[in-house]
Amino acid sequence: MSPLLDARNITVKRGGRTVVNAAHLTIEPGEVLAVIGPNGAGKSSLLHALALLLPVSFGEYRWMGRPVNLPQEALALRREMAVVFQEALLLDGSVLENAGLGLKLRGQAASAWRPAAQAMLDRLGIGHLAKRSARQLSGGEAQRVSIARALATKPRLLCLDEPFGALDVLARHALLKDLKGLLASEGTAAFFVTHDFTEIPPMADRVAVIDQGQILQIGTPHEVFNQPATPLVRDLVQVAHDLVRTLQRAE
């Protein structure tokens, strides 16, 4: 079966500086690919590039095995995906209107988008907030609305740009669990940018380590943690190893 997304020679430049220069990246249907790396490594720029939100140069961009003609097909392809940012970025209006915005932008009538948006809010446990103003939500609630808004469009690929970064540990844990369940039940693939190692094992099928815009290693979480391919990857996973060792000693 063809990968959902197969991108080669991905180059993103900002202010004349190359911030992403990745040779090859694939995302399989239904898989969660986590991306980790130090600050400024180019993780978010890579996500924005794959989601076609930046002026970007691809050697080749294939979607479900088919070469995509960019930028002509960018809008059609963006409607196959969704992005959740670190900030909820809700618009002025009710929670329900926000959750249904992606469907409205695709031309759906209120009779279609309202029940779909309400159903997704219900699945994320915030259906009771539907009529509330989006300006009156807590950080955790707002991020749940943002995820409901993204998933209501039934994307094939969900791009998550450090979506739990602004949440406290309890809200983060609860949302992580719900999101994992939703992705699995919908069969949605995810490209998950994080700097928190603890989020990787419960979420990711594979991990990519990135630094200075280049992909240093891709593999299962087990492979990357136990067989780091470069000194930088070893340094990055060392934190997780130290945590495990500390816990073992405590036991």
Partner 1 sequence: MELIGQGIVKALEMLVSGDGELWRIAWLTLRVSGTATFLSVILGIPVGVLLALTRFRIRGFTVSVVYAGMGLPPVVVGLVVSILLWRSGPLGDLGLIYTPTAMIIAQTLIATPIVTGLTMSGIQQLHPKLHLQILALGASRWQLFGLLIREARLAIIASVIAGFGRVIAEVGASMMVGANIVGETRVLTTAMVLEVNKGHFDIAIALSIVLMLLIWLVITLLTRLQQGGRPL
* Site residues (vs partner 1, CB under 8 A): 48, 51, 53, 75, 78-79, 81-83, 85, 87, 89, 91-94, 97-98, 101-102, 104-106, 149-150, 153, 159
Toward partner 1, which CB reaches closer, 7 or 83?
83
Toward partner 1, which CB reaches closer, 51 or 190?
51
For residue 88, give the nearest of 128, 142, 168 by alpha carbon: 142
Residue ranges of alpha helices (H) inside 187-230 are 200-203, 221-226
CB 211 to partner 1: min, Å: 23
CB 101 to partner 1: min, Å: 6
The answer to whether the beta carbons of residues 8 and 24 sit under 8 Å apart is yes
Toward partner 1, which CB reaches closer, 119 or 244?
119
**Cβ within 8 Å of residue 87, ≥6 positions away:** 166
Toward partner 1, which CB reaches closer, 82 or 200?
82
CB 53 to partner 1: min, Å: 5
**Cβ within 8 Å of residue 131, ≥6 positions away:** 94, 95, 96
For Cα atoms 142, 192, 23, give the angle at the middle one, nearest 5 degrees.
Answer: 145
CB 133 to partner 1: min, Å: 8
CB 88 to partner 1: min, Å: 9
CB 197 to partner 1: min, Å: 25
Return the SS3 of 11. Answer: strand
Residues in the chain, overall count: 251
State the Cα–Cα distance between residues 97 and 31, nearest whole angstrom: 30
Toward partner 1, which CB reaches closer, 63 or 225?
63
Toward partner 1, which CB reaches closer, 84 or 218?
84
For residue 159, give the nearest of 218, 39, 77 by alpha carbon: 77
State the Cα–Cα distance between residues 175 and 92, nearest whole angstrom: 23
